Structure 1
Amino acid sequence: MKKVLIPVTNHATLGETDQVNGTYSPELTHVVHVITAAGLDYEIASIKGGKAPIYGTDIEGDEINTEVLANEDFQRRINNTKAVSQLKVADYDAVFYPGGFGLLSDLAENEDFAKLSAEHYQQGGIIAAVCHGPAALLPIQLNNGEALLATKSVTGFTREEEIDYGTIKDVPFLLEEALTRKAAQFSKVQPWQSFIIEDEGVITGQNPASAHAVGEALVRHLNR
């Protein structure tokens, strides 16, 4: 059975504020729903391991989010994430970074996951990310010394969406700007529309509405 590694943040607030944060639940649950429905397995991991902070667990009308959160197996995994030090890259067929603001404070600069993801990609693996998740692609350096993003077209949470969400003054850095500076190309559509980009083994989605499509693209690549 093919297995997706899902690194999540250990950072429980929005930047330096005391606003409850972590991984944005629907971006994780929608992809988990798609990959498990396709018969794939997954592992949730974090830098430190243990219980991972998530928010967006009480969204009304999101039946998939509610259903996955109610699943005992999912709860066991999110409450007992594997530490990055315990991971072997050969055990996984893809890496998926869900968003949420928390990872801007840890995964966006974490060398351990960056090295693991670089090794995975260079062995022909797939890396996917949605919303703020592409921040975790920023520190990934390939063996040739180039940044993974240097030749990639990507998307991610936009400046307009930060403004709409009321977070632009509290984020540690503006993701759109960071991606525009590092990636070969950054593209976006109108705020809150589903939009994904697939570029040679790297799949990125713009916002929470894009999570389902990222999951579907991931499954499509793994089933090739």
Structure 2
Amino acid sequence: MKKVLIPVTNHATLGSTDQANGTYAPELTHVVDVLNANNIGFDIVSIQGGKAPLYGTDIEGDEINNKVLGDASFQTQINNTVPVSQVNVDDYDAIFYPGGFGLLSDLASNEEVAAMAAKHYEAGGIIAAVCHGPAALLPITLSNGELLIADKEVTAFTREEEVDFGTINDIPFLLEEALTRKAAQYSKVQPWNEFVIQDDRLVTGQNPASAHAVGEFLVKLLAE
């Protein structure tokens, strides 16, 4: 059985504010739903381990989100995430970073997770991320000293979407700008539209609407 490693944030607020945050549930649950449908296993991990903060758990009309959140085995995983220090990345076929603002404050600069992801990618592994998830790509440095994204086209949550969402003044940094400075190319479409880019074994999605498609791209790559 193929298996995906899912690192999530331990940071429970939006930047340095007291606004409840963490991982945005639909960006995790919609990909998990695609993995489940294709009999692909997954483990949820975090830097510190333990219960991972989620928000967006009560979105009306999102039946997939409700279904996955209501699954007992999923709840066991999200409430007992494995510390990254206990993870053997060689056991996994792909890494997926869901979004949410929380990871801008930890995974976006964590060298331990970045080193693990670099090793995984250089061994032929797949990396996928959606919305703010691509922030976790920023510190990934390959063995040749180059950033993973230095020669890649990527997408992620846009400046316009931050403005629309009312978070532009509270985020630790603007992800679009950070990726534009470090990636070969940052691309985007109109706010809130589905948009996914695959560049070699790297898949990125722009926003929550892109989560399901990121899951589909991931499954397709895993089948190759």
Same fold, TM-score > 0.5, yes or no = yes
State the match for 1:201 in structure 2: 201
Distance in 2, Cα, partners of 1:182 & 1:35: 30
Shift of residue 182 of structure 1? 0.3
Distance in 2, Cα, partners of 1:212 & 1:167: 24
- Secondary structure of 2:169's partner? coil
Distance in 1, Cα, partners of 2:142 & 2:165: 34
2:44 counterpart of 1:44: yes
Shift of residue 175 of structure 1? 0.2
Distance in 2, Cα, partners of 1:43 & 1:123: 19
Q: Deviations over 1:45-82 (max 9, x none)?
A: 00000000000000000000000000000000000000
Structure 1 stretches of 5 or more lacking a match? none
State the match for 1:121 in structure 2: 121
* Paired AA for residue 96 in structure 1: F
Shift of residue 198 of structure 1? 0.1
Shift of residue 119 of structure 1? 0.2
Q: TM-score, normalised by structure 2?
A: 1.00
Q: Deviations over 1:116-146 (max 9, x none)?
A: 0000000000000000000000000000000
State the match for 1:107 in structure 2: 107
Structure 2 stretches of 5 or more lacking a match? none
Shift of residue 4 of structure 1? 0.2
Alignment of 1:45-64 (within 5 A): 45-64=45-64
Q: TM-score, normalised by structure 1?
A: 1.00
Q: Deviations over 1:72-130 (max 9, x none)?
A: 00000000000000000111000000000000000000001100000000000000000
Q: CA RMSD in A?
A: 0.3
